[in-house]
Amino acid sequence: MDGPLPVSCDPLTALFKRVRARTEALAAGLSDADATVQSMEDASPAKWHLAHTSWFFETMVLARHVPGYRPFDPAFDFLFNSYYETIGPRLSRPRRGMLTRPCLATVLAYRQHVTKAVADLMGTRMPDGVASLVELGCHHEQQHQELLLTDILHLFAQNPLAPAFRTPPGALPAIPDRPAAMGFIAFDGGVIRIGHAGGGFAFDCEGPRHEVLIQPFRLADRLVTNAEWLDFIADGGYRTPLLWLSDGWARAQAEGWSAPLYWQRRNDGFVSMTLQGLRPVDPAAPVTHISYFEADAFATWAGRRLPGEAEWEHAAGTLAIDGQAAGQGNFADSGRLAPAPASPAGGLRQMFGDVWEWTRSAFLPYPRFCPPAGAVGEYNGKFMSGQFVLRGGSCATPAGHVRASYRNFFPPHARWQFSGLRLAEDA
């Protein structure tokens, strides 16, 4: 990059600069080896995340809307395409960890090349629709910032040295031995409206806004904690098939699940691999790195259930969402990079940040959903099969990235994300 980007008061330009810089700050300190290795098929190397987010801007914006644009390296179109069938062939996902070349320094140079080209384009009168593509690219990159963190955690968890990715600023606050008692907040049933209401960015799968009938319900005022999960383990939760869905029990048996991912039993209790390295399990913090199957089994054991996504969004709509998204929740920007215990204050807590909350809702299109035309139409719609919805964001989610209408989704066996649960019950 030829010097710093010019200062701009344009909100989109500011967002673009902030997001691009944040991704590189997250990767700072990683060695070329750290950034290259792929620990499992569901995870991608940090170097690939750095390159793919640049590929998105180069392919969707620059190549199509900058006359005479010359790509940084034509081979990157094959190496760093993720799943866009309409764009062309690509390196298969399980082989991303084989990319010893290009090296990390070349990928960072690629980022600089793309960042400058997009910034130059934004300094001109952009063609119709380009601004929305740039905005989509920024939010897409924020998703990959979170994936970079979760994938690095999985990678470092395979290392016998249990290295820390980042040391949090200052000492972590003192924590109680046990969490405060869980309470439940009642909500009336009726016809409600869910989905993005307009006014700001949203992914296509968050709409259209529509009416849903819900029954009266109660929602837990905080997330389920590690202490409560320890009770589930001690009571034979992983050994009792009547608690589990059939597919979940089969998966748990086949993979030997006996605790959340990253937990290790020691003589004096459990420890867990975290982004700060190996640490004792915090009993008051929200349980995380559990699958939908585990969350559902725990809810059954507790005599309750998971909330539906409409219930969750209805409850979240009673909160000051803007305030939460601005940083009041425990997001990645706090530097903690781990779920935090609930505050002692009453009312709904931890709805945003800390852990993604499994719902019992399948990831399906809303009524009258129609994906956009062209390659960006492959962004969400093609995955509306075999996935479950999670809500609320996590400690690895960038602040300001989530909304009450935000629909994350993963297959029910996924465990490597910061995923936890909140209980619900019929009223």
Cα–Cα distance for residue pair 267/32, rounded to 1 Å:
36
Cα–Cα distance for residue pair 168/187, rounded to 1 Å:
38
Cα–Cα distance for residue pair 205/347, rounded to 1 Å:
29
Cα–Cα distance for residue pair 37/23, rounded to 1 Å:
18
- Please report the pLDDT score of residue 171 as a whole number: 55
- Fill in the DSSP letter of residue 330: B
Instruction: Tell me the CA end-to-end span of the chain in Å, nearest whole number.
Output: 59
pLDDT in tens, the chain (427 residues): 334 444 445 899 999 999 999 999 999 999 999 999 999 999 999 999 999 999 999 999 999 999 999 999 999 999 999 988 888 899 999 999 999 999 999 999 999 999 999 999 998 888 888 999 999 999 999 999 999 999 999 999 999 999 999 886 655 555 555 667 899 999 999 999 999 988 899 999 999 999 999 999 999 999 999 999 999 999 999 999 999 999 999 999 999 999 999 999 999 899 999 999 999 999 999 999 999 999 999 999 999 999 999 999 999 987 865 444 334 689 999 889 999 999 888 889 999 999 999 999 999 999 999 988 877 776 777 888 999 999 999 999 999 999 999 999 999 999 999 999 999 999 9
* Cα dihedral 280, 286, 291, 297 in deg (nearest 10): 110
| Helices 46-57/130-157 angle, 10° precision | 170
Beta bridge partners of 353: 330
- Please report the pLDDT score of residue 173 as a whole number: 52
- Please report the pLDDT score of residue 100 as a whole number: 95
- Please report the pLDDT score of residue 327 as a whole number: 40
Count of other CB atoms within 10 angstroms of residue 265: 11
The alpha carbon of residue 404 and the mean position of all alpha carbons in its chain are separated, in whole angstroms, by: 14
Alpha helix stretches (DSSP H) within 158-308: 226-234, 246-255, 292-301
Which amino acid is it at 45?
A: P
Segment 186-191 long-range contacts (CB within 8 Å, at least 24 positions apart): 186/216, 186/217, 186/218, 186/427, 187/214, 187/216, 187/217, 187/218, 187/219, 187/311, 187/314, 187/315, 187/427, 188/216, 189/213, 189/214, 189/215, 189/216, 189/217, 189/427, 190/214
Tokens of 13: 């330009």
Cα–Cα distance for residue pair 306/219, rounded to 1 Å:
9
Which amino acid is it at 44?
A: S
Q: Are 395 and 330 in contact (CB under 8 A)?
A: yes
